[in-house]
Structure 1
Amino acid sequence: MRSPLIRRIPRELLGEWKKYFALFGIMVITIGFVCGLFVANNSMETAGNESFEKYNIADGYFNLRDEATDKLIDAIEDEGITTYKQYYKQVSERIPNKKNAEKSDIRVFVNRDQVNKICLMKGEFPKAKDEIAIDRMHAENVGVKIGDYIRVDGNNMKVTGLVAFSDYSALYEDNSEIIFNAITFDVAVVAQEGFDSIKGATVYQYAFTYNDKPKDTEDKKLKSDDIVERLYKLAATGGDEDNPDFEHLNEVTGYLPEYLNEAIHFSLDDIGKDKIMGEVLLIILIAVIAFIFAIAVSNTIVNEASVIGTLRASGYTKGELLRHYVTVPIIVTLLAAVIGNVLGYSCFKNVVVNMYYNSYSLPTYETLWNSDAFIKTTVYPVLLVIVINFVVISGKLQYSPLQFLRRDLSKSKRKKAIRLPRWSFLNRFRLRILMQNVTGYFTLFIGIWFVMISLSFAVGLPATLKNYQNHAIDYMIADHQYILKKSVDADGNKITTDEKSAEEYSSRILLTIDGVHVDEEVTAYGYTNNSKYFNLPYDVDKYEVWVSEPFADKFSLQEGQKITLKEHYTSDTYDFTIKGIYNQPGIVAIFMPNDKFNEIFDYDEDHFTGFMSEKKLDDLDEDNILTEVTVDDILKMVRQLDHSMGGYMDYFSYACMAIAVLLILLLTKIIIEKNTVSISMLKVLGYTSGEINSVFIRLTTIMVVIFAAITANLSTFVISEFWKIIMYEMNGWFTFYSGPKDYLKMVIMVIVSYLIVVLLDMRRIKRIPMTDALKSVE
């Protein structure tokens, strides 16, 4: 025989359709977005992993000072690797007819057909001397389309195609940079004739693959460590360590194995982390919604206590009633999961894909069915709703039939009511309402905290970038920092300048071997006596150094502590003692006197790397300058992050406000429904709607304002810790910033969301009839 309780389910859904529709809407959006995230991530991650074989990504590359001779190449390949020429020229890129376009650098390669192949996204590869194919992501950022002309090293070249380099899925100009830069850095491919027409200096880069493929990352590291040491020795001896041949001598100027190449791995790592974050957010939000379901059903049980008592007395078991009251939340969750999955594979997947293509230079991909996405966005929510509702509702059904009939559903057997302060009647009534709805207000607190955590990121990221941008000049040791190719010119004379503010300095890149981020790049600086740019003493012992404040913060370093750093391309290590913490923001670095620098790193006494200067050094020969570091170089990271994520933060803020409206609406509705009889009684006693609103609405308003103020601080702390975890995985260090204006903005956004709810709550209170109090058996 069919249970009569089944007929109550449609009636309950229709009777409370607004509440269930709101819960349904939140879950559809959440499940849909997370499903889209899982599907897009899995599809793009699979395409990225397959690209290693599809595009034959090399095991690494090394740069030489000069083009290698055949003898040197043969000696290098005898070490168990195969080399491939991957020469490039890095020159200026300008976009005609766009005055506001920023100055860019473009790294131009000849088309590759063996390793690190290139994916043609649109158009065709260049064939003529004046044709070029540039990175798709950079082209979108600067507004270049196929058929447009750009100036490359002063030459007008026609863009014939948009491409994605397999070894530049994230446009890192230098592997040590905090973030990639697809705005002022570009990679491109030209025909050989076009490459020869560009006047810039050729960088002799050689990609290599191992003849015996490594088994895993650890094996890659071991092979890489062996190869880099052999490369240095072979280049320095011309390929014959026993009988150095000066005709074949060379020098390794750069080396990077594939497993450490951020340009290859950053996008894939980021996609993987996003999947984990999406899963966590899904579980948290569904858990909050499950508690809302449980509270709503518990409130229904209280309101229907006499009906439940009658059913229990008529022979219905606790299990039957438990299954009945859990059915509606399960049905709503299942429907939301099904529709959310459909939207995930259609709409939301494309949203996520566009977000990734807006940040990374990814190759084409194919949408794949993801069973993991279906399980996590369907099974997880349903299980969470079932478990939480079973636990909460079963606790509410533990009373005897007689207790239900008497509406005696309080576990507390207090004989006397809690004595309240001698306040006015309405104030005491407010306090009593607060005490009776502790669970509801606690859930409201959790809901607001969840929204506030999301808002902290949406508001805090732009504020952090803006703060970094405003203080960028403080991160520069000098307005102009020149790095020379050598400290002597072609005639062997020491390079000098007439600029009075110029000062010699030395620098060298080292790596950490332990701590929160192994292989973190640390710049070792050597400064002159009485330096204008380094306010540090010169008379210190060998191996005593000062560490920059960001270095100390990131690795929890203290004065007197010992640190070990290693060479970038060899296994040589150096043990330093921290003399003190130097207040130099923005960089991870150590500082020591220049004479100690030259002694430790085995340089000549008068060696230096370049010049610090307050003004541009126009008297330096361009041929002697390796690079110049300016404020624009510091700001590249800010521009890229702002471009990749800044635009989405406004939309994310509005989404958070929408979720806040729905969550607060649901929770305040439950609180009002729970107190329907009390509200009706106040109306019977002659209180106006305005006075009743002052009891319930004012109390909830006070609680929302208090919760918003508390959670604004708590959420900023949570996001700050989360930000540290992100920075631990990257080179460099800067802290998350959220100022007083940002706190106020977050609180106001939650209060504005609540004010929208207030209008609906006032209408709901006004529609409660006085007859509810007269019907009550209490």
Structure 2
Amino acid sequence: MLIKKMMRDVWKNKVQFLAIFIMAVLGALIYAGLNCEWFTMKNQADAYYEKTNLADIWIYDEALGENDIEKIKAIKGVEYAEGRFVINGSEKTTGNSTELQLNFVTDGKISDVLTQEGDKFSNSKEGIWIDYQYASANKISVGTKITISVRGLEITEKVRGLILSPEYVYNVKDDSEMIPDHQKFGYAYLPYSIIENLGINTYTEILISADEKSVEKVKKNISGNFSTVIDRNTYPSVTALNNEIQQHKALGNIFPVIFLAIAVLSILTTMTRLTKSQRIQIGTLMSLGFKKGRILRHYVSYGFFISLIGGCIGILIGQSVIPKILFEIQKPIYTLPSWDVKIPTFNFIMVALIVLLCTATNYFACRKELKDVPAETLRTLPPKTGKHNIIENTKIWNKMGFNFQWNVRDICRNKIRTLMAIIGCLGCMALLLCAFGMNDTINNVGDRMYNELFKFQNKVIFKEDADINEIEEYNATLAGQLIQEENIEMQYGENKKNGLLTVDSGGKCINYENDEGMLKKLPDTGVAISYKMSKLLGIEKGEKIKWRIIGDKHWYNAEVKAFYEMPIGQGICMSTDAYQQLERFKPNAMLIDKKISSSEVNDSVVDTIKSKDEFIDAFNSMLDTMKMIVLLLIVFAVLLGIIVLYNLGILYYTERFREFATLKVLGFKSKRIRSLMVSQNIWLTLIGAILGIPIGFLVLSYMTNTLGDNLDMTPKVFGSSILICFTGTILVSLLVNLLLANNIKKIDMVSALKSIE
């Protein structure tokens, strides 16, 4: 009997229960979708690293030998160590200007590779194993012979297999690249014997596998003996993927909270109204012998089943749809052997939390009506004693119109419904503002970086072995701006960070700006440091920073003379005068503020030329995932606004049904009554939208702070975006309320005012 009653009640109040259901679906969908996406990437990457025994520590130095390896193996906590020789070479077989990073491997027990096609890699077999993505882009197959030019020597080997390496999940040539170009750059693995035959018997890298608990101790033990020592936390490929995962993890945790909060408030208002309207039915059930506990379970089950079904459906849709959409954007950037979706256990915990909160809210909303004895419950609940609010005691009250007085009193009598309306509109506005703000922030960063800070049209990358005199002559011919870019390690106190050093010869191709305006030139001594890097290191102007080029043992001390803003690529900048007090200036790139014709390309020194448009395209591609999430947020925010406002409109109409009928009897026109209903909801929408603006800014700030160490995005929301969000929220409210206000015409005054029997 109670089940049939529940079905009738749900159908009779279908709009309110549908709103709760959709809130549960959306909250679970967003949570499950975004968390499933980052969890899959983390899970697949961890499995990949474990299967291939990714190195725990990497050592970079010149002329490393077997003696170094034996000393490292003797350190407590080290499980194994092996050397390899790594060098870049030009691959000539494809006919294109391509480059391969060659790894000449001794053992292959650490950072092993996964074979996708052909033979499994072995250092005892002759041949070359090629990056699977590079091979696919250049149509290289197993069995093909390829020729690679290295330092004037040519190596010709047969392709034995196509592979994936855990060290190249994010495979870019250098810091000037943001998106992998698999057609132009890849990697290859070869037996160490091949490089030995060319007269080389040293290593450039040593890979260490260490006990998980001992990694930090081992790293500290060997750091002073070699040029560069890094672990997984600072290895570029691992760091890039981890930063992406952390961004999406933060997004997946914050937005479902808004939907869950509104679902809980919806349950509270709906069930409070339902139990009040069914007070006599509850008294009848108690009189018929139904225990209070059973009646309570009956009403509590409304929230339990709706939230359970909604949460389960949301999770099923979320983890099936959202990860696949986002993975299509991630696959060109990150290379993992598998993208099969992995479902985290905490997705189901989220459903349990939704059910628990909705059920608990339902319980507290219903138990009040069960406190009285049956005889008392069978009586109609007397109306609340009217209380004068603060405004009524002021002189302004009597000057206000009927609409104002009616709505103020109604708001004061129904505080929970009012709170829900405000929070619903607040959530809608905050989500919209955050979504539009993120879009504005991304567009502003791109525009500022490539139109205001970077004035060059082309960036020329020089060959590693290019003669410095030829470079200077070429620069004089094209009136360019020479720069030297190096990956460096920086230290201040206990804080260490990797970043980018830019040595600038001066010119108009790069503008350096800070809070005080444009820097006329870089300091003649010391360094300028990017704002983001200064915050990461905790360093202030006038203090000294230690830095060294990765691969160099020598540390330099330099005073921080200035700050500058840099959206992408955090680090330090130096003038050539300041740098040449420490080292010789060796430019490896040139910036030009004009287009370069093919006749102006000097093949003896030029490696590649990148246009500004290529940098902009790479920047946009890097943030495609964020843009997709922004689009999802806009869709969900609009849905949130429609559902909440429609639910509140129905609730308001149902609660005021008899009062509206009374007003009609007293001669009020439907248009006048409709204005009462619409005006109150517009008031609450305005309050919610205004309060949603600072909340939206807070959420946006939180999002931009999760973008990793390399990006420095200042939250930016254009006035037009605030206006669109604000107007959109008001329009949604107005349209929903106008739609519901038409019900005023359908009120049957006789049945509405009929005495309760």
TM-score by length of 2: 0.76
CA distance in 2, matches of 1:442, 1:95: 68
- How much does 1:352 deviate? 5.7
Q: Which residue of the other structure, out of 11, 16, 19, is the alignment partner of 1:14?
A: 11
- The residue number in structure 1 matching 2:167 is 167
- Of residues 266, 273, 282, the one that matches 1:299 is 273
The alpha carbon displacement at 1:328 in A equals 0.8
Output the CA distance in 2 between the equivalents of 1:491 and 1:510. Answer: 25
Is 2:24 aligned against 1:24? no
Quote the offset at 1:270 in angstroms.
Answer: 3.5
Distance 1:311 1:44, change over 3 A: same
Correspondences of 1:337-348 after superposition (within 5 Å): 337-343=311-317, 346-347=320-321
1:758 and 2:753 matched: no
* CA displacement 1:628-675 (0-9 Å, x = unmatched): 776356535522234334355435422332232122212222222222
Selected match of 1:267 from 226, 237, 241: 241
**Preserved CA contact (<8 Å) 1:137 1:360:** no
Pairing partner for 2:66 from 70, 74, 80: 74
Structure 2: distance between partners of 1:292 and 1:255: 56
In structure 1, how many angstroms separate the alpha carbons of the residues matched to 2:673 and 2:547?
Answer: 69
Query: Aligned to 2:667, what secondary structure does the other structure show?
Result: coil
Q: Which letter maps to 2:748? A: P
Partner AA of 1:473 in structure 2: N
Q: 2:427 aligns with which of 430, 439, 450?
A: 450
Identity of aligned residues (%): 17
Structure 1 192/578 Cα, relative in aligned 2: closer, same or farther at 3 Å? closer
Contact in 2 for aligned 1:171/1:186 (Cα 8 Å): no
Q: CA deviation at 1:575?
A: 5.1
**Partner residue in 1 for 2:441:** 464
Query: Mean alpha-carbon deviation: is it higher for 676-685 or for 317-326?
Result: 317-326
Greater shift, 633-642 or 220-229, is seen at 220-229
Moved more, 287-296 or 569-578: 569-578
Could you tell me how far apart the structure 1 residues matched to 2:134 and 2:588 are?
Answer: 36
Whole-angstrom distance in 1 between the partners of 2:15 and 2:552: 67
Which structure 2 residues correspond to residues 30-45 of structure 1 after superposition, within 5 A? 30-39=27-36, 41-45=38-42
Deviates more, 1:163-172 or 1:509-518: 509-518
Contact kept in structure 2, 1:482 and 1:628, CA below 8 Å: yes
Structure 2 match to 1:220: 215
State the Cα RMSD in Å: 5.2
Contact 1:22 1:666 in 2 (8 A): yes
1:83 equivalenced with 2:76 (yes/no)? no
* Cα separation, 2, equivalents of 1:118 and 1:64: 23
| Whole-Å separation in 2 of the counterparts to 1:511 and 1:505 | 19
What is the rounded CA distance, in whole Å, between the counterparts of 2:90 and 2:508 in structure 1?
Answer: 37
- The 1:651–1:55 alpha-carbon spacing in structure 2 relative to 1, beyond 3 Å, is same
Shift of 1:530: 13
C-alpha distance in 2 between matches for 1:582 and 1:166 = 35
Which amino acid is 2:649 matched to? T
Q: Does 1:721 align with 2:702?
A: yes
Q: CA deviation at 1:742?
A: 1.9
2:350 match? 377
Cross-structure match for 1:99? none
Task: From 648, 651, 659, give the equivalent of 1:678.
Answer: 659
Q: Which amino acid aligns with 1:686?
A: G
Equivalent position of 1:386 in the other structure? 359
Q: CA deviation at 1:164?
A: 5.1
Equivalent residue number for residue 75 of structure 2: none
Give the residue type in structure 2 aligned to 1:442. Answer: L
Residue 694 (structure 2) pairs with residue 690 (structure 1): no
Q: Give the whole-Å Cα distance in 1 for the aligned partners of 2:17 and 2:184.
A: 51
Conserved in 1, the CA contact under 8 Å of 2:456 and 2:594?
Answer: no
Task: Tell me the alpha carbon deviations over residues 306-353 of structure 1, each in whole angstroms, 9 at most, x when there is no partner.
Answer: 555676788878766544432211121122234444445655664565
2:308 maps to 334
**CA distance 1:11–1:491, change in 2 (3 Å):** closer
Q: 1:532 to 1:457 in 2, by over 3 A?
A: closer
Partner of 1:407: 381
Query: 1:660 matched to which residue of 2?
Result: 641
Work out whether 1:597 is the aligned partner of 2:569: no
Aligned 1:161-560 pairs, distance under 5 A: 165-174=165-174, 180-182=178-180, 187-188=185-186, 208-210=206-208, 213-216=209-212, 219-224=214-219, 230-232=225-227, 257-268=231-242, 270-271=244-245, 274-275=248-249, 277-305=251-279, 307-308=281-282, 322-343=296-317, 346-347=320-321, 350-351=324-325, 354=328, 356-357=330-331, 360-364=334-338, 370-374=344-348, 376-394=349-367, 405=379, 407-408=381-382, 410=384, 418-419=392-393, 420-471=397-448, 472-476=450-454, 489=467, 497-499=475-477, 501-502=479-480, 509-513=487-491, 518-523=496-501, 525=503, 535-536=519-520, 543=526, 545-549=527-531, 551=533, 559-560=541-542
Q: Deviations over 1:523-569 (max 9, x none)?
A: 264657999977557886x64x4444555577676544555556545
In structure 2, what is the Cα distance between the partners aligned to 1:532 and 1:24? 54
CA contact (8 A) 2:569 2:711 kept: yes
Distance in 1, Cα, partners of 2:471 & 2:44? 53
Q: Closer, same or farther in 2 for the Cα pair 1:162/1:289, shift >3 Å?
A: farther
Post-superposition Cα deviations, 1:347-384, rounded to whole Å, max 9, x if no partner, equal 5664565565465322125555654432x133111111
Correspondence list, 1:562-577, <5 A: 563=545, 565=547, 568-569=550-551, 576-577=558-559
Residue equivalent to 2:746: 767
Paired with 2:480 and 2:389, the residues of 1 have a C-alpha distance of: 85
Three-state SS of the structure 2 residue aligned to 1:775 is coil
Partner Cα separation in structure 2 for residue 758 and residue 531 of structure 1: 56
- Structure 1 window deviating more from structure 2 (644-653 vs 468-477): it is 644-653
Find the aligned partners of 2:388 and 2:317 in 1 and give their Cα distance.
Answer: 52
In the superposition, relative to structure 1, how do residues 645 and 594 fare at CA in structure 2: closer, same or farther (>3 Å)?
closer
Unaligned runs of 5+ in 2: 73-80, 122-126, 150-158, 195-199, 513-518
2: CA distance, partners of 1:585 / 1:316:
67
Q: After superposition, what is the alpha-carbon deviation per residue over 1:478-503, rounded to whole angstroms, capped at 9, x for unaligned?
A: 55666767899389998674348446
CA 754–530 in structure 1, closer or farther in 2 if over 3 Å, else same: closer
- Residue 290 of structure 1 deviates from its aligned partner by 1.3
- 2: CA distance, partners of 1:347 / 1:615: 45
Identify the residue that residue 77 of structure 2 maps to in structure 1: none
**In the alignment, residue 435 of structure 2 is paired with which amino acid?**
A
Distance 1:732 1:273, change over 3 A: closer
Contact 1:358 1:644 in 2 (8 A): no
State the SS of the aligned residue for 2:428: helix
Work out whether 1:707 is the aligned partner of 2:688: yes
Asked if structure 1 preserves the Cα contact closer than 8 Å seen for 2:30 and 2:255, the reply is: no
Query: Residue 53 in 1 paired to residue 69 in 2?
Result: no
**Contact 1:548-1:582 at 8 Å conserved across structures:** yes
Question: Residue 686 of structure 1 aligns to a residue in which SS?
Answer: coil
